Amino acid sequence: MAPTFADLLLSPEVLRAIDTLGFEEPTPIQAQTIPLLLEGRDVLAQAQTGTGKTAAFALPIVERVDTARREVQALVLAPTRELAMQVAESMHNLGATRGLAVLPVYGGQAYDRQLRGLRAGVHVVVGTPGRVMDHIRRGTLNLATVRTVVLDEADEMLDMGFVEDIEFILNEVPEERQIALFSATVPRRIEALARRYLRDPQRVTIAQEALTAPQTRQMYVETQQRDKIEALTRILDLESPGSAIVFCRTKREVDELSGTLQSRGYTAAAIHGDINQAQRERLLAAFRDGRAELLIATEVAARGLDIPDVTHVFNFDIPDDADAYIHRIGRTGRMGRKGDAITFVTPREMRQLRFIENQIHKNLRQIRVPTPGDIAARRQETLRASLIAAIESSAASVYAPLVESLASEHSPLEVAAAAIYLANGGANGRHDAPTPEEHPEDESVTEGGMTRLFLDTGRKHGVRPHDVVAAFTEVAEIPASTIGTIDMFGDFTLVEVQRRVAPAVLERAGLLVFNGRETHVTAARESRDPREKPAPGRKPGPRKRK
């Protein structure tokens, strides 16, 4: 029988906070780690993101802190500012009933705010190694009263080059202290760090089955490199994920893929090492809030992110090894929820896939690329389910008199079909016929209802497709789904938008600024040769080729 939180000998105050947050029973890492930490033991725990490890170390800290003493008694180190903020928020919520004071400290935030918190006195500091070390050297953070130190995502901190910072910090804490080290993987460097600083550590290892995300359906698609984007977009259209992360190997691939997806109407945010912190936070906020359905990222850029409710993870490029694969798919299927992880594999990469399967002791299920007919059928099925739900809830009964009056002149079938047609956007909507075979796969989706706009800026000015999409959606306030193909050339760009939103774009976004350069948006002539640019000195806009 699985243990309860009450079985872990937590106080009534802490149990009340757990109940308020809706936690029902401990996860395996919590059940094994909490008793050891409450006893004061050092712990080396192997646990990936999403297993509940934050509560595994936070609950013992909340339980053991003397809230009457307004001094730093616990220190948690995390690899990124995002994770530090998330851990701090979790600890604040878990310690609310005991009046626990938690302060996040990280680079990129003004020192004065952190200094005010430290002067006021806090019980727990959660921070990134670099900023914690800065405060120690400035004399603004005193670790003399620290009783517990937690290294969260230790392998990632070492991968990011924080080993010297961590050693500096650990050398500043008292000799009589408790250290808990949490890591998704335990390579030799982690073993060496544990041997040096942990005293007789208790090893906690989650079973391999749990480590490889049992709640996540793991699948792969075999496809040629040139066909990957088409395969991805078809799967996205079929699955309609609420939020998904797409992993690419390089920064360039992230930019190119996000630009291509945005040009096809998907709302995608791209993050990698060249994205500045302010832009990174804005993009992540858009993804968390649902304003961006896709997050395109390199593995390094996504480290330390704790994003809830990710339904799908796509490995656009196959990971280099099993550890990287585990890190990636750990972003979905978390805390008992279901998730899907789909890896795209070229024929030459099949051997690498078999190696990963051997390491994780699991065979991925092969799936085929959906056909247009599959996608049309799924949309019909989803629409049918929505209609049945509305009928059974009687929510649509207010329209019954209108339907009754129309039924005197038209058949109920015609009335219902017209209503669904209008609900799906009418003439400007996307309508999937019940028999997709009647519509050729290469049928143009830009014929009718679309118009082309001209921008007097292009690739040589550092502008990318997703910059154009972001500008149109933010400044002109049009949905990304109304934007069609984006053709970028050296010093100009052609953008297709639905005809109904073109006036809004021309009115609100007639003058945009990209990378400090003013950009004019005008209507393009359909007869224009797209390879031609405007003559020097002319008003921005297209002209016919002579």
Contact 318, 349 (CB under 8 A): yes
In this structure, the answer to whether residues 280 and 391 fall within a common structural domain is: no
| Residues 409-433 as b or e (16 or more Cβ within 10 Å = b) | eeeeeebeeebeeeeeeeeeeeebe
In this structure, the answer to whether residues 163 and 220 fall within a common structural domain is: no
Who's near 334: CB < 8 A, 6+ residues apart?
A: 49, 50, 51, 215, 308, 310
What pLDDT was estimated at residue 127?
A: 95
In this structure, the answer to whether residues 356 and 459 fall within a common structural domain is: no
- What is the total count of domains within the chain? 4
Residue 206 C-alpha from the chain's centroid: 25
Does the residue 139 lie in any domain?
yes
In this structure, the answer to whether residues 144 and 231 fall within a common structural domain is: no
Who's near 531: CB < 8 A, 6+ residues apart?
A: 489
- Token look-up 């050339």 returns 489
- DSSP secondary structure letters along 252-317: HHHHHHHHHHHHTT--EEEE-TTS-HHHHHHHHHHHHTTS-SEEEEEHHHHTT---TT--EEEESS
Q: Any alpha helices (H) in 102-227, and if so which ranges?
A: 111-120, 129-138, 154-159, 163-170, 188-197, 208-211
In this structure, the answer to whether residues 188 and 222 fall within a common structural domain is: no
Which two three-digit tokens encode residue 27?
A: 């996860």
Mean pLDDT by 10 residues, the chain (546 residues): 83 90 80 94 83 89 94 94 87 93 90 92 95 95 96 88 93 94 88 93 75 76 91 90 88 89 87 80 83 85 68 90 80 75 91 84 89 79 78 78 82 79 65 44 44 87 81 80 80 86 84 82 63 42 38
What pLDDT was estimated at residue 335?
A: 59
In 3D, which of 516, 517, 515, 493 has the Cα closest to residue 505? 493
**Which residue range forms the structural domain that includes residue 234?**
215-371
What pLDDT was estimated at residue 2?
A: 65
Cα 39 to Cα 60: distance, rounded to the nearest angstrom: 9
Cα 361 to Cα 335: distance, rounded to the nearest angstrom: 22
Does the residue 260 lie in any domain?
yes
Does the residue 168 lie in any domain?
yes
In this structure, the answer to whether residues 155 and 242 fall within a common structural domain is: no
Cα 360 to Cα 211: distance, rounded to the nearest angstrom: 9
C-alpha dihedral (54, 57, 58, 59), degrees to nearest 10: 120
In this structure, the answer to whether residues 332 and 456 fall within a common structural domain is: no
Cα 74 to Cα 60: distance, rounded to the nearest angstrom: 11
Other CB atoms closer than 10 Å to residue 277's CB: what's the count? 12
DSSP-assigned letter for residue 319: -
For residue 348, what is the domain's CATH number? 3.40.50.300
Cα 378 to Cα 269: distance, rounded to the nearest angstrom: 26
Which two three-digit tokens encode residue 202?
A: 């208790």
In 3D, which of 14, 33, 123, 117 has the Cα closest to residue 74? 123
Contact 512, 506 (CB under 8 A): no
Contact 315, 191 (CB under 8 A): no
Cα 183 to Cα 5: distance, rounded to the nearest angstrom: 23
In this structure, the answer to whether residues 328 and 471 fall within a common structural domain is: no
- DSSP secondary structure letters along 358-389: HHHT-PPEE-PPPPHHHHHHHHHHHHHHHHHH
Asked which of 206, 226, 261 is the last residue of a domain, the reply is 206
Which 3 state secondary structure label does DSSP give 455?
strand
In this structure, the answer to whether residues 179 and 304 fall within a common structural domain is: no
273-281 — which CB contacts under 8 Å span 24+ positions?
Answer: 273/298, 273/300, 273/301, 275/301, 277/81, 277/108
Rounded to a whole number of angstroms, the CA Rg of the chain reads: 27
In this structure, the answer to whether residues 473 and 392 fall within a common structural domain is: no
Does the residue 415 lie in any domain?
yes
Other CB atoms closer than 10 Å to residue 338's CB: what's the count? 11
Does the residue 537 lie in any domain?
no
DSSP-assigned letter for residue 211: H
Does the residue 1 lie in any domain?
no
Beta bridge partners of 512: 519
What pLDDT was estimated at residue 427?
A: 63
In this structure, the answer to whether residues 365 and 387 fall within a common structural domain is: no
Beta bridge partners of 220: 343, 366
Residue 111 C-alpha from the chain's centroid: 28
Beta bridge partners of 127: 77, 105
For residue 476, what is the domain's CATH number? 3.30.70.330
In this structure, the answer to whether residues 123 and 180 fall within a common structural domain is: yes
Does the residue 546 lie in any domain?
no
